[in-house]
Structure 1
Amino acid sequence: MNVDKPLDKPFIFDAHLDLAMNAMEWNRDLTHTIEELRATEDGMIDKPDRAQGTVSFPSLREGNVGIVVGTQIARFAKRKGNLPGASWNSPEQAWAQTQGQLAWYQAMEHKGQIRQILNKEDIDKHLASWETDAANTPLGLIRSLEGADSILSMHYLHKAYEDGLRAIGPAHYGPGVYAQGTDATGGIGQSGRELLKEMEALNIILDTTHLCDDSFWEALANFKGPVCASHNNCRALVPHHRQFSDDQLNALIAREAIIGVVMDAWMLTPNWIRGKSTPKGENISLHQVVDHIDYICQLAGNSLHAGIGSDLDGAFGTEQGPKDVDTIADLQKIPYLLSQRGYTKENIENICSKNWLRFYMNAWS
């Protein structure tokens, strides 16, 4: 295969970052550098990733990560032992938490740190501005809801859409109000079908990430709008129900979906033991991330369905990420690794950003 010289620093679209969760629950001022953020958390032990964060606005700029999908996240907890953060004892509390996160995004937009992207025209304007003056262009942000438990009724869904919400993953971890997520089983039920019907009417994108197998297949059968998997890896490489099987990946590819590979270390090796394993000890690096990208490309027969959905700082930091990722700017190592495997410039551009850009442009055409 004729391999082009890899791009110097290609534009990157990251389809999944919990920015507002980090700001509101982790109390991180993302306008600071990573070094400054780590210094403010030195000695803190309330969360396992303290002083090990990787994402800030300056580090995104350093990595030429010009558009991100930023989440609102708050689930209604129905069980004990939930993961740290994002769990609340009622849907009403979850809704209030998402509104606090929305207020933070709006404050960052007012400050000029981000620019909300709502439609095709916004993408065109943002890309033109970034190309001519990236240093003075706000980061582009598309807003997604990770787990729909906070949608108290379809009235609240319409309000969220009016406020700029453009994608929803119906479930997160465990049983959900509208679907069943990671570590749960079962379908979406009547409430889930109602949600999907209204999402389709509003042209809100369905993010299948975190749906358990039963809910995944039922959601695809009941939703005819645009679908994606913002941050999901391949079950064939790491056997666990959090990853998608070949059948699921093929179904997404048939729907013109993009699958964003995720960088949580336990999703990159079958040997990870929480609280004991380390990235260096398990030799987890961006090579494994590229393994998942390559697997999706081989399954599809082209480079048109793989993307990046890093989930960096999604309740983990450098203690549970690839050993060669110190900050999110290190996503720029991926183009070189892809070139080493025979991917051309066109392939690399597709994976780094063009696939996600095409997906959203088509969804909003």
Structure 2
Amino acid sequence: MKKPFLIDAHLDLAMNAIEWNRDLTRPLSEIRLQEMHLKDKNDRGRGTVCLPELRKGRVGLVIATQLSRCTSFGMSISGWNSPQQAWAMTQAQLAWYREMEALSEMVQITTGIGLDNHLALWENAEISDEDKPIGYILSLEGADSLVNISYLEKAYNYGLRAVGLSHFGAGRYAPGTKMEGPILPSGFELLKEMDSLNMVLDVTHLTDEGFIQALNTFKGPVWASHHNVRKIAPTQRQLTDENIKMLIERDAVIGGMLDCWAMDTRFIDAVSDPWQLNIRMENLVDHWDHICQLAGNSLHVAIGSDLDGNFGTEQSPWDLDSIADLQTYQQILTKRGYTEQDIENIFSKNWLRLFRKVLN
């Protein structure tokens, strides 16, 4: 039986290619073998994402990020020491996406026509999935690298279509995860410019106060690319029921993420073992169930896996070996009582509904 088409709304592909020095065109087994003896990062030799595995799992369309944070002197998190350096890193990441396009490994989607053509290609059974490019919509995770507001239009012109104001820690436009406080004045200016360009606001990583401010200020399309439910995983990083209801009212979609600590707060980074805690792919369905109950339907949940977002198999569900295993959700969701239409919504149709609002 043909595997269904699948969309993953959050992958840091260029970060892994540039900063982790991974050739994502190569087989996953080769990438892991190449990293076997490297010790500079916890996930060395444990990656789950590469372009061949995306094709194997029919993950034919992704939201792919640029990610480059600024940090001030004395901050404990990593980042660049100036906005100009951060911008330069995003341009290196953009250059990698362009190289993947030159190799026909990937194709950037910026218009509705481009989206329809790409979907038609992936439905063409006469062409092997192994020979199809991975489509990507470009998103900026954290706005620190925008040196000033004028840089947003520069980024839009090279295809950027979604922006999250913040990432972890303090930000130049808004504070992020593990912080408190409001959006900064520069952040409100950025939201206004995003509205004028019909860009998407990604509310992921905002503080509680910033989340409310953003949804009350921004008039355009909204999504939460990689977020789970706070009632199940009670940390500031996840969405409250109030947050979820506000997103449902905006016809937003929430991408469920597969980082173990985002599914089960018993998990401690670099300490816990997913197998010992029995954290499985099915744990994410508990989060989807909660959102679906609040919405009364399956129109607001989807996949935003964040796989290989600074972690690998050591911090993923123990029954997931590669991103191709996302197809397992067809079986898991069926067992949990989801209909075929529900599964289509979660796998692709919910994201496509939003994409068509943005891609003119």
Q: What is the TM-score normalised by the length of structure 1? A: 0.96
User: What code does the residue aligned with 1:13 have?
Assistant: I
SS, match of residue 75 in structure 1: coil
Match of 2:310 in 1: 315
Equivalent position amino acid for 1:99 in 2: Q
1:197 alignment partner in structure 2 = 192
Structure 1 residue 9: Cα displacement? 1.5
Counterpart of 2:44?
50
Give the letter for the 1:151 counterpart: L
2:107 is aligned with 1:115: yes
Q: Equivalent of 1:12, from 6, 10, 19?
A: 6
- The match for 2:169 is 174
Work out the CA distance in 1 between the residues paired with 2:114 and 2:5.
17
Query: Match of 1:319, as an amino acid?
Result: E
Residue-by-residue CA offset, 1:218-268 (whole Å, 9 max, x unaligned): 111110000000000000101000001000011001000000000000111
> What letter matches 1:238 in structure 2?
A
1:332 equivalent among 308, 315, 327: 327
Alignment partner of 1:100 is 2:89: no
SS at match of 1:152: coil
Aligned counterpart, 2:24: 30
Matched, 1:224 2:216: no
Deviations 1:114-160 (A, max 9, x none): 01000211110000111113333211100000000000112211100
Higher relative contact order, chain-length normalized (CA < 8 Å, sep 6+): 1
Of 305-314 and 271-280, the range deviating more from structure 2: 271-280
Residue of structure 1 equivalent to 2:344: 349
Cα distance in 1 for residues equivalent to 2:24 and 2:277: 30
Find the counterpart in structure 2 of residue 125 from structure 1: 117
1:93-114 deviation digits (Å, cap 9, x = unpaired)? 1100000000000010011000
- Cα distance in 2 between the residues matched to 1:102 and 1:69: 14
Per-residue deviation at 1:189?
2.3
CA contact (8 A) 2:267 2:274 kept: no
CA distance in 2, matches of 1:149, 1:65: 29
How far does the alpha carbon of each residue in 1:282-327 deviate from its partner, in whole angstroms, 9 at most, with x for none? 1111111111112111111101000000000000000000101100
Q: 1:183 corresponds to which residue? A: 178
User: TM-score normalised to the size of structure 2?
Assistant: 0.97
Q: Is the 8 A contact 2:56 2:130 kept in 1?
A: no
Per the TM alignment, residue 362 of structure 1 is displaced from its structure 2 partner at its CA by 2.4
> How far has the Cα of 1:363 moved from its partner?
2.9
Cα distance, 1:295–1:8 mapped onto 2, change above 3 Å: farther
Query: Aligned partners of 1:108, 1:363: CA distance in 2, in Å?
Result: 24
Which runs of 5 or more structure 1 residues have no equivalent in the other structure? 1-6
Tell me how far apart the structure 1 counterparts of residues 76 and 52 of structure 2 sit (CA, whole Å): 34
Please give the alpha-carbon distance, in whole angstroms, between the structure 2 residues aligned to 1:8 and 1:163. Answer: 35
RMSD: 1.1
Query: Where does the alignment leave 5 or more consecutive residues of structure 2 unmatched?
Result: none
User: Distance in 2 between the 1:189 and 1:172 partners?
Assistant: 14
Distance in 2, matches of 1:195 and 1:126, equals 31
Deviation sequence 1:44-73 (CA, Å, 0-9, x none): 100000000000000000000010000000
Provide the C-alpha distance between the structure 1 equivalents of 2:130 and 2:25, rounded to a whole number of angstroms.
14
Amino acid paired to 1:37: I
| Count of matched residue pairs | 356
Give the letter for the 1:131 counterpart: E
Which segment is superposed worse, 117-126 or 269-278? Answer: 269-278
Separation (CA, whole Å) in 1 of partners of 2:268 and 2:189: 38
> Which residue identity lines up with residue 98 of structure 1 in the other structure?
T
Residues 3-44 of structure 1: per-residue CA shift (max 9 Å, x gap):
xxxx75211100000000000000000001110000000111
Query: Does the Cα contact within 8 Å between 2:52 and 2:130 map onto a contact in 1?
Result: no
> Shift in Å at residue 352 of structure 1?
0.7
Q: Partners of 1:157 and 1:174 in 2: how far apart?
A: 22
Deviations 1:178-199 (A, max 9, x none): 1110011111121011000000
Moved over 4 A (4+): none
* Secondary structure of the corresponding residue to residue 88 of structure 1: coil
1:71 pairs with 2:65: yes
